[in-house]
Amino acid sequence: MNNLKSERVLFLVVLFLTLTVGCNLKEPPESKSAKVEIDREKHRPLFHFSPDSMWMNDPNGMVFYRDTYHLFYQYHPESTVWGPMHWGHAVSKDMINWEHKPVALYPDEHGYIFSGSAVLDVNNTSGLGSAGNPPLVAIYTYHNPVKAEARRADAQTQGIAYSRDGGESWIKYEKNPVLSNPGIRDFRDPKVRWHEATQCWIMTLAVQDHIRFYSSPNLKKWSYESEFGKEQGAHGGVWECPDLFPLKVEDSDEEYWILIVNLNPGGPNGGSGVQYFIGSFDDHRFTSIDKDTRWLDYGPDNYAGVTWSNTGDRTLFLGWMSNWKYANVVPTQRWRSAMTIARELKLHKHGNKLAVYSLPVNELGNITSTVFEKKDFDIHKSFSISDAAKLKLSTFEMDLGIRSVDGFKVVLSNANGNQTEIVFDHRSNRFFIDRSKSGDTSFHKEFGDLAWAPRFSHEKQMDLKLVADVASVELFADEGSTVMTAIYFPDAVFDQVEIVPDSKLSISKLVLNEVR
């Protein structure tokens, strides 16, 4: 995020509106005709979360409480471009179907409400609830635009707010900020979790080019513990939105700690990206097992992703499906940006190699139905799945089992000649996403650039899952060990899906699930 210009004026306007008009969200202006309304809704995803209107970036404060997944998000209710940040709010029973809620947190005298997390303070360590009604506590960054404009290094501090009614309404803690700034410009995005071994809260904070850990008995008083990362991982830009959680190796009792660190710019395909480290956390300090740079997603459009808190044995991840390179100028009108599909993370050991795999949550099955299935067949020239299924398809989940990988591509297209290609090159064992002809690419000179990912697996067989919504495709190969996410803006939805092999492709299964 690097668009902090003119924010002082915007901040004062928002503060004025907040104080005078109260906390009502301004309704988006009425559209003048049905045509205008359709244009304004063009590219709206069907089953990925997008704000009802206006600008959204990072997922924030994700917490599961009383059968409900809460999603807060960076939100500018006055505009479709980034500005004074609020926390928007939505709730879901399954991370797939979402209900919009009123704005949860407004800027105040300490500044805008930047990214952060939320926890259930089950033992009421904060004293902000009661034993019988433990509070939800949000921990977030205050970004003071006046100080930032004056180029002061101490513009970012950490504050907390609490809810005693299950996230419906929030009260800011009266003694904010709870963690002041030591004189470092980028000092933000606290992700907090309860640490059983030390009976303390651990805050993971992104600090410019590294991570700092703080601890607290009560979410109000924080002590510095340690830092990590100045010499590790990718450093093409600022470190942002971290996350720290334990994960057991699948089918084993071996446990590691995973440290997610979002990075902008410097992602694997330029701009924003989400890297992670595998290591141990010895109650005070994180140590990684090696110096490798690992990416949770190689596509251009998965950023600021972190996991839900309070989800027991499941580790559930959601990212913002955009890239700071062009997020402010993508051609949507009434709203801007969507989230990725929610994903479940698992740690796998493949030989000696450890990697975090991600797959869409099973709950996606709540809204899919199988419309086509075919087993054991060869494709010689091409195979049009939409023709075979006799369906025009723009929202689907497809599972492909490939017996012996040769080069191939899956082409999503429309009758206007727009197309996005998902290409596998077997010689280099790489995937590519080519959106150079995907429709409107004019808004950013690099949007049409080829994105690529090394395939993690070297097996002869491959399983490939594609999740396509109106304006995005997500690729999960080999149980989710290689992942790519990309958005696009075709003139009309892609309703044709075709598999084109370089020479011949031997398919063990093809299952097409329509999403409704």
Q: Which residues sit at the interface with ligand FRU, rule CB under 6 A?
A: 1, 57-58, 74, 85, 114-115, 141, 188-189, 240-241, 304
Considering beta carbons, is residue 121 or 189 the nearer one to ligand FRU?
Answer: 189
Provide the 8-state DSSP code for 263: E
Minimum CB–partner distance for residue 114 and ligand FRU (Å)? 3
Other beta carbons less than 10 A from residue 193's beta carbon: 18
Q: Is the bond preceding 265 in cis, omega lying within 30 degrees of 0?
A: yes
- In angstroms, rounded to a whole number, what is the distance separating the alpha carbons of residues 309 and 70? 10
- In angstroms, rounded to a whole number, what is the distance separating the alpha carbons of residues 372 and 391? 10
CB 322, CB 303: distance < 8 Å: yes
- Which token pair is 121? 């303070």
CB 212, CB 226: distance < 8 Å: yes
Minimum CB–partner distance for residue 111 and ligand FRU (Å)? 11
Considering beta carbons, is residue 315 or 328 the nearer one to ligand FRU?
Answer: 328
List, in sequence order, the alpha helices (H) in 352-486: 385-388
Considering beta carbons, is residue 190 or 490 the nearer one to ligand FRU?
Answer: 190
Considering beta carbons, is residue 14 or 507 the nearer one to ligand FRU?
Answer: 14
Minimum CB–partner distance for residue 27 and ligand FRU (Å)? 23
Q: Reduced to 3 DSSP states, what percent helix, strand and coil does the chain have, rounded to the nearest 5?
A: 10, 45, 45
Considering beta carbons, is residue 318 or 364 the nearer one to ligand FRU?
Answer: 318
List, in sequence order, the alpha helices (H) in 33-188: 34-41, 145-149
**Catalytic site residues?**
58
Considering beta carbons, is residue 115 or 309 the nearer one to ligand FRU?
Answer: 115
Considering beta carbons, is residue 305 or 360 the nearer one to ligand FRU?
Answer: 305
Residue for token pair 């902090």? 4
Considering beta carbons, is residue 304 or 347 the nearer one to ligand FRU?
Answer: 304
Minimum CB–partner distance for residue 437 and ligand FRU (Å)? 29
Minimum CB–partner distance for residue 370 and ligand FRU (Å)? 37
Residues contacting residue 116 through CB under 8 Å, at least 6 positions apart: 60, 61, 138, 139, 140, 141, 158, 189, 190, 191
Minimum CB–partner distance for residue 288 and ligand FRU (Å)? 22
Residues contacting residue 435 through CB under 8 Å, at least 6 positions apart: 420, 441, 447, 448, 451, 486, 488
Residues contacting residue 384 through CB under 8 Å, at least 6 positions apart: 496, 497, 498
CB 225, CB 231: distance < 8 Å: no
Q: Give the number of C-alpha atoms closer than 13 A to the C-alpha of residue 447, restricted to the C-beta side.
A: 23
Minimum CB–partner distance for residue 207 and ligand FRU (Å)? 11
Minimum CB–partner distance for residue 108 and ligand FRU (Å)? 16
Considering beta carbons, is residue 286 or 324 the nearer one to ligand FRU?
Answer: 324
- In angstroms, rounded to a whole number, what is the distance separating the alpha carbons of residues 378 and 339? 36
- Which token pair is 314? 């499941």
CB 294, CB 356: distance < 8 Å: yes
Minimum CB–partner distance for residue 380 and ligand FRU (Å)? 46
Closest-approach residue to ligand FRU (CB): 1
Q: Reduce the secondary structure of 16-71 to three states and give it as a string.
A: HHHHHHCCCCCCCCCCCCHHHHHHHHCCCCCCCCCCCCEEEEEEEEEEEECCEEEE
Considering beta carbons, is residue 207 or 466 the nearer one to ligand FRU?
Answer: 207
End-to-end Cα distance, the chain: 34
CB 149, CB 49: distance < 8 Å: no
Other beta carbons less than 10 A from residue 21's beta carbon: 9
- In angstroms, rounded to a whole number, what is the distance separating the alpha carbons of residues 107 and 327? 22
